[in-house]
Chains A and B, each alone.
Chain A
């Protein structure tokens, strides 16, 4: 090794003499802004809440009001949504205090209503959920450290109690978990999720809270498995509900706390999806389509005198809107995954960190797959709502197999989208190419109907619509998943190779 050069002394130049740090002048001062538009929204929302609320109250008392109770509910919901928006946006202290009080009252009312189980289901649960949302909105803007910590910990403790109630109650009495327990398990997760999300897992408290959630999930899962093994009739549906909830807890805890590079990358990808407006458009679009399908399904149900048969699920899940929805969602969520990184140059930063190509591809894939599953969850929730409030028992197996089919076909499509995104720099081009592939997949269904023999069988494996149809009719054959699974695998492999191709010489 050569000897180190003697650093020359300099009496002129950039660092002449002894350069002394100057205090930082930049950046520009942050000025509190007056969100006028948001306040107008808040004002209108308040009026809507009042009118809608009164309409519902008056209708309950058997009296008429400006609008009917159905519209009253719509107005009330829209108004509450507007107020929440205001609470999220407006950081001024009076509003924070007002909304904080509203949230506290709602939470208190929700807890107090637990004394009357019937009322608790109808009013207590929504009140708890709303109170949580207001608390989250306020805590997000809260500058007073004590109040913020207090609100967050209250959310965390309430969520913890709900989860424990759901898990313990569910293990003691299987019927508990079928209605209130299930709701508490979901709501508890949302509470704890809000608590951890606002704290951040970089902090000690947030990390250990996530850890505790994971432990609860693990213990709950083991308990549910043991109960299912030794207690007859526990597995369906209580065991399933408990196991699913616990598996979700475990996944959430792992996803929030793990420092594995794959998880870190996935977390960033997911948050990037939610930072862009596309995510919300997709959520809203899928929700509206699901809502319309559900409405059509309900009116069909009424037409049959309220008799619910499982083959009718086909009408709910498989409509033209569903197909259009999936065909649009896939290119929308995958188009910017890699093309944007290439265009902006962040791929260089990413690949010069100690991360290999396959984990980048896998993280992007798992993020969009999670997003895709989340987007379609409300469709299932509509059915749960029907089960709980309408008292309509139905065969859950077609729904389950349809869900599995959706996930597998979705995985295949999303990997195709990811592949196109890795090839081009322009996200629109990626979207167009992916859409073309989606259309081709759909066309295969149309073509396969006209064929017979070997070709028909071959296309039967490829056609995703056939798979969905079969799964909904209870003709679910796992070997038909094979094509979609291998499609996902193949295109993920190709995408990794595309990223590695810059190194081929």
Chain B
């Protein structure tokens, strides 16, 4: 439903996003993660055709965001980050107005409005002025607006920001339910929300996609942690010789204990083989543990990785100075 190829955006000299690529399939709920200033909102604005990309192609629902912007906008529901609303309108009046703008006919509008008021829990405030609503209620109005015309694709920029703990769960449950029929791309800073509802995550950092994998894949990935009382080099050699070990990284050693993080091919559980290899040589195992990776680990790993190109650019800049 969403295809992004080599999308780049400059704001004057500032590079906001840099050749990002990703796809979102129909019916997926995808979490869009990244630190502040990573380019999430910019990417979303390009996808909604509000901003043009400097280069690259983005297609939403099969339409190009640059050349077929109107069809793109008909097929998306967008919740912007700060939820700007007309403060002088009333909740119901605003939603009716938006429904008309989005081309909902008179007959279908009424039941749809009632449905959205119900699902976003706005029934109690339908007669209130938007300007008097609290942050959380504004967020709900924004969500109701995004889904009022039942679009196939929902693009939600931090849909749970400013909500109370109950409402966060309500909203997440709603999004999960919407995800059964709709395609949802949502950005957030709260990783546990992504773990709760998303099937896949895309992590961007400094304008690059660092990572795009399904949560199931992430969780399958496991590392084996090994602490051994013995000479570090010899232990490393012994472990490397075991078939199936893909990568061995030393961790901080502590008083004579050599510590390693071991990755295996196809995430095989090699604990028994390792234990055998180490104890056969007479070293003592202090710890042998297999840890599943969590989203948080993956997130921080992406942030730690530095893009080699960028690093080169930065160094050359430093030399110039």
Same complex: yes
Q: Among A14-22, A322-330, A489-497, which stretch is in contact with chain B? A: A14-22
Does the CB pair A8–B215 fall under 8 Å? yes
Apart from A353-B98, A502-B51, list 9 A-B contacts with CB within 8 A. A5-B28, A5-B214, A14-B196, A264-B100, A275-B88, A346-B84, A348-B80, A348-B84, A349-B80
**A21 in contact with B101 (CB, 8 Å):** no
Interface set, chain B 178-202, CB cutoff 8 A to A: 192-193, 195-197, 199-200
* Closest A residue by C-beta to B129: A275
Closest B residue to A257 by beta carbon equals B106
Our count of residue pairs bridging A and B at CB distance below 8 angstroms stands at 126
Closest Cβ of chain B to A341, distance in Å, is: 9
B134 pairs with A505, CB closer than 8 A: no
Contact A13 B82 (CB under 8 A): no
Interface residues of A (CB under 8 A from B): 1-2, 4-8, 10, 13-15, 19, 21-22, 24, 26-27, 202, 207, 259, 261, 264-265, 268, 272, 275-276, 344-346, 348-349, 351-356, 502-505
CB of B88 within 8 A of CB of A276, answer yes
Q: Which of A13, A27, A352 contacts B128 (CB 8 A)?
A: A27
Residue in A7, A268, A352, A354 whose beta carbon sits within 8 Å of that of B97 in the complex: A268
Residue of B27, B84, B196 near A13 (CB, 8 A) is B196
B48 at the interface (CB under 8 A from A): yes
The residue in chain B whose Cβ has the minimal distance to the Cβ of A347 is: B84
A-B contact pairs, 15 of them (CB 8 A): A5-B28, A14-B169, A14-B196, A15-B172, A19-B172, A27-B134, A202-B96, A345-B80, A349-B78, A349-B85, A349-B145, A353-B98, A353-B102, A502-B52, A503-B66
Shortest distance between the CB of B241 and any CB in chain A (Å): 35
Taken together as a complex, chains A and B put the C-alpha atoms of A27 and B126 apart, in Å, by 11
Q: A4-B25, A202-B109 are in contact. Are A352 and B137 (CB under 8 A)?
A: no
Given A7-B199, A13-B196, decide whether A352 and B73 contact each other with a Cβ distance below 8 A: yes
Q: Which residues of B contact A346 (CB under 8 A)?
A: 84-86
Query: Are the C-beta atoms of B103 and A349 separated by less than 8 Å?
Result: no
Per-position contact with A for B70-97: 1 when CB-CB < 8 Å, else 0?
Answer: 1001101010101011111100000011
CB pair A352 B78 closer than 8 Å? yes
Main secondary structure of the interface of A (DSSP, over half): loop
Partner of B137, one of A15, A27, A207, A276: A27
Q: How many residues of B contact A (CB 8 A)?
A: 66
For residue B264, give the distance in angstroms from its CB to the closest CB of chain A. 21
Closest residue on chain B to residue A345 by CB atoms: B84
Q: Which residues of A contact B216 (CB under 8 A)?
A: 5-6, 8
- A234: shortest Cβ distance to chain B, in Å? 39
Which chain B residues border A259 with CB–CB below 8 Å? 100, 105-106
Cα A402 to Cα B36 with chains together (Å): 59
Contacts of A27 in B (CB 8 A): 124-125, 128, 134, 137
- In the complex where A259-B106, A503-B52 touch, is A353 in contact with B170 (Cβ < 8 A)? no
| Contact of A1 (CB < 8 Å), options: B25, B66, B80, B124 | B25
CA separation between A24 and B53, bound complex, in Å?
42
Report yes or no: B49 in contact with A19, Cβ–Cβ below 8 A.
no
Measured between beta carbons, the chain B residues less than 8 angstroms from A349 are: 78, 80, 84-85, 145
For residue A276, which residues in chain B have a CB less than 8 angstroms away from its CB? 88
Determine if B121 is an interface residue (Cβ-Cβ < 8 Å). yes
Q: B106 touching A14 by the CB < 8 A rule?
A: no
Q: Nearest 5 A-B pairs (CB), nearest first?
A: A345-B84, A275-B88, A5-B214, A14-B196, A354-B73
Which B residues lie within 8 Å of A8 (CB)? 215-216, 219
Q: Is the CB of A15 within 8 A of B196?
A: yes
**0/1 interface trace, chain B 45-58, chain A, CB 8 Å (1 if under):** 10011111110000
Q: Which residues of A contact B214 (CB under 8 A)?
A: 5
